[in-house]
Amino acid sequence: MALKSVEAGGTARKEPDTKMSQVVVKDLRKSFKIDDMQITAVDDANLAMEKGEFISIVGHSGSGKTTLLSMMGAIVRPTSGNLYFEGRDIFSLNDDSLSEYRAAKIGYIFQFASLIPVLTAKENLLLPTIFAPNGKQSGTEKRALDYLEFVGLKDKINAYPYQLSGGQQRRVAIARALMNNPELLLADEPTGDLDEQTEAEVMEFFRKVNRDMKITFVLVTHNTALAETAGRRFRMSGGKLSEASA
Ligand SMILES: Nc1ncnc2c1ncn2[C@@H]1O[C@H](COP(=O)(O)OP(=O)(O)OP(=O)(O)O)[C@@H](O)[C@H]1O
Ligand SMILES: [Mg+2]
């Protein structure tokens, strides 16, 4: 990790170098207000990732994992703090540019089923390519079929989500997240409802895209055995992010 030492109030502390690391999360905070209650879901998280890194994040339910991931995916704007991608201050972008950034760089696997019910499996995969910047449009049909085959759903390309099991829907969502050749893949409990064998295959797939395509990969999981396989491991607790010691 690229770190530089800075003086803060007289005491030296380690700060991620926003110019050096591919992804830098800097004091990201997200608070929600419900009635008179203020909840800080993510409490000044800091994290720096190099291109091609694989990290995992574990933590109890409600600890802020999804909220952090949705800010890293530029889906939700923070209450305060910054996200840098290759030195670019992402939340300084307007909403249109933010959407373009997301389509170009981010693959996101949502925690809960997120397929469009009126589209078939193949059409669900083709959907994000419509929003992709120019140059990524060629070969999309073939890529959709290849990815569906890879996740073991070759015979389901024309099936609608309601015709698929929970695990099959999850696999379609995984394939869809890769359609625009993302540089940062954010997976929120991607293997939550898969059987052991499919989970192992999907994880091997993730490792392969992470290794071979140098896609930076963040895995949120409750499965500590899966979390252990990451290059670096993090924990969320009460909105605070900390790195587990090796
Ligand atoms: N849109 C929202 N409005 C209000 N509160 C929210 C919102 N989203 C999340 N929260 C609250 O923020 C906290 C963190 O939620 P989050 O979904 O990030 O947890 P999580 O670690 O992903 O949990 P799980 O493991 O159950 O998925 C919770 O207390 C939740 O109720
Ligand atoms: Mg969650």
Ligand 1 atom closest to Cα of residue 68: 18
Question: What pLDDT, on the 0 to 100 scale, is given for residue 14?
Answer: 53
The domain in which residue 142 lies consists of 49-77+102-243
Ligand in closest contact with the CA of 222? 1
pLDDT band at residue 135, thresholds of 50, 70 and 90? low
Q: 116 — phi, psi (to 5°)?
A: -80, 120
Distance separating alpha carbons of residues 231 and 234, to the nearest angstrom: 10
Query: Which protein residues are within 6 Å of ligand 1, measured from CB?
Result: 32, 34, 39, 41, 59, 61-67, 111, 236
7 belongs to a structural domain = no
Nearest partner of 181 among 121, 219, 125, 117, judged by Cα: 125
Q: Specify the residue with its C-alpha closest to ligand 1, atom 8.
A: 67
Read off the pLDDT of each residue in 154-181 and give the average, rounded to a whole number.
91
Contacts of 173 (CB under 8 A, 6+ apart): 109, 110, 113, 114, 115, 124, 190
Question: What pLDDT, on the 0 to 100 scale, is given for residue 138?
Answer: 73
Ligand 1 atom closest to Cα of residue 63: 21
Question: What pLDDT, on the 0 to 100 scale, is given for residue 6?
Answer: 41
Residue 215: give its domain's CATH number: 3.40.50.300
| HSE-up (13 A, CA, CB side) for residue 58 | 13
**Is it the case that residue 137 has pLDDT exceeding 80?**
no
Q: Specify the residue with its C-alpha closest to ligand 1, atom 7.
A: 32
3 belongs to a structural domain = no
27 belongs to a structural domain = no
Read off the pLDDT of each residue in 120-124 and give the average, rounded to a whole number.
95
Question: What pLDDT, on the 0 to 100 scale, is given for residue 13?
Answer: 46
Question: What pLDDT, on the 0 to 100 scale, is given for residue 209?
Answer: 85
pLDDT band at residue 34, thresholds of 50, 70 and 90? confident
Question: What pLDDT, on the 0 to 100 scale, is given for residue 84?
Answer: 97
**Is it the case that residue 234 has pLDDT exceeding 60?**
yes
CB atoms within 10 A of CB 227: 19
Summary mean pLDDT of the chain: 88
Nearest partner of 90 among 184, 210, 187, judged by Cα: 184
3-state secondary structure of 215: coil
Question: What pLDDT, on the 0 to 100 scale, is given for residue 17?
Answer: 63
**Is it the case that residue 37 has pLDDT exceeding 50?**
yes
Residue 26: both structure tokens together: 């800097």
Tell me which residues have their CB within 5 A of the ion that is ligand 2.
Answer: 65-66, 111
Distance separating alpha carbons of residues 47 and 65, to the nearest angstrom: 13
Choose the residue to mutate in 32, 75, 186, 188 for probing ligand 1, maximizing ligand atoms within 8 Å of C-beta.
Answer: 32
Number of domain units in the chain:
1
Q: Which helix (H) or strand (E) holds 28?
A: strand 23-34
| Single-letter code of the amino acid located at 50 | E
Buried b (16+ CB within 10 A) or exposed e, 92-127: eeeeeebeebbbbbbbbbbeeebbeeeebbbebbbe
Read off the pLDDT of each residue in 27-33 and give the average, rounded to a whole number.
96
225 belongs to a structural domain = yes
Question: 3-12, 78-87, 161-170: which has the highest mean pLDDT?
Answer: 78-87
Ligand 1 atom closest to Cα of residue 239: 14
191 belongs to a structural domain = yes
175 belongs to a structural domain = yes
pLDDT band at residue 19, thresholds of 50, 70 and 90? low
Q: Specify the residue with its C-alpha closest to ligand 1, atom 29.
A: 62
**Is it the case that residue 144 has pLDDT exceeding 80?**
yes
216 belongs to a structural domain = yes
Question: What pLDDT, on the 0 to 100 scale, is given for residue 18?
Answer: 64
Contacts of 241 (CB under 8 A, 6+ apart): 42, 45, 46, 47, 57, 64, 68, 234, 235
166 belongs to a structural domain = yes
Ligand 1 atom closest to Cα of residue 236: 21
Residue range 66-97, pLDDT digits in tens: 999 999 999 999 999 999 999 999 999 999 99
Give counts: helices (H), strands (E), the chain.
Answer: 7, 12
